[in-house]
Amino acid sequence: MKRPLRALAAAGLLAAASIVAVTVGGTASADTQICEQYGSTVIGGKYVVQNNRWGTTAQQCINATSTGFEITTLNGSSPTNGAPTAYPSIFVGCHYTNCSPGTNLPIQVSQISSAPSSINYRYISGAIYNASYDIWLDPSPKRDGVNQMEIMIWLNRQGPIQPIGSPVGNANIAGRNWEVWRGNNGGNNVISYVASSAIPSLSFDVLHFINDTRNRGAITSSWYLTSIQAGFEPWQGGAGLAVTNFSQSVNIGEAPPTTPPPGTGACAVKYTANSWNNGFTADVQITNTGTATLNGWTLNYNLPGGQQITGSWNATVSQSGSAVTARNISHNGTLAPGGTASFGYQGTLSGTYSSPSSFTLNGMTCTRS
């Protein structure tokens, strides 16, 4: 997605952000050169290829082919501690009111049964860039502007660049291990999955990454998938980089369960509290009683009336009304089968103390231990 907000946030100029609409350049029946800043064209009657030069005023041109695109001219460069110069990409869905032909996006995550994808990249040496998928989600079916959640899949990272935020753990998805980063660019939340080495081609289900993001508490199944994009973020150099083939579908239907159903005992919670006249403390121990490793966890429950959390340790704990959300921090996010993680908090108390009655971990109903 075009991201002027990231560039401006990196420069400390977020308040001055302005959004420029994408222009549609027509349909490419043969190779089509695009040099306009936000110029785009349709290929294969299904996908949009966009130049999307949002981080530099220097010239950038891409050549749209029948199956992808190539960067042919790239004169801009950016410091590696800031934002990239552009995101030339190919996409399905809706991007700043530019929707790909016949797309069924936006669509709620709960309605998606699978989202099979296949891509082939051509890489070059001597440049600083990443090759990434961008997956955009929002609580509403947005067809314009910035969405609240961005998932980035970094299939190749060249040079001293890094994702937004900081590492929070690892995930095993699509038969590979990914380092997971989490942060905010000033305009939206970002979760990035970074490959340990360059991946020139990959066939996978985008829904698996969406489900992992959901299990980390960043979205819910009621959110909408709005677009899926694949391309490059160049910082320095990049002419010759290419997406030689791209295929993406989003299938609707009943999705197979991604976590055990409630009551299967895939998690257990031990809740130990100490209370006095106007306050209390609680120690919470989570145990993974399932057979799969949890890479990141979110515990949800409700506090009885009169309890307000004032401080916590070993987890990021937030409270809205009676609803409590506790998320892992960097050192305790991975729970192997049989593994445990503990955190605690203190709070104020009004009235008679009682403990929470039920807990869910990454959407699974837990037993009490």
3-state secondary structure of 99: strand
Compute how many other C-beta atoms are within 10 angstroms of the C-beta atom of residue 185: 21
36 is known as an active-site residue: no
Set 36, 70, 179, 233: catalytic member: 233
Q: What is the 3-state secondary structure (H, E, C) of 212-276?
A: HHHHCCCCCCCCEEEEEEEEEEEEECCCCCEEEEEEECCEECCCCCCCCCCCCCCEEEEEEEEEE
Q: Do the Cβ atoms of 185 and 6 come closer than 8 Å? A: yes
Set 36, 150, 179, 254: catalytic member: 150
Measure the CA–CA gap between 285 and 216, rounded to whole angstroms: 18
Instruction: Please give the single-letter amino acid code of residue 355.
Output: S
Q: Do the Cβ atoms of 80 and 128 come closer than 8 Å? A: yes
150 is known as an active-site residue: yes
Q: Which of 141, 149, 169, 170 is nearest to 214 (CA)?
A: 149
DSSP H or E segment with residue 301: strand 298-302
Catalytic residue IDs: 150, 233
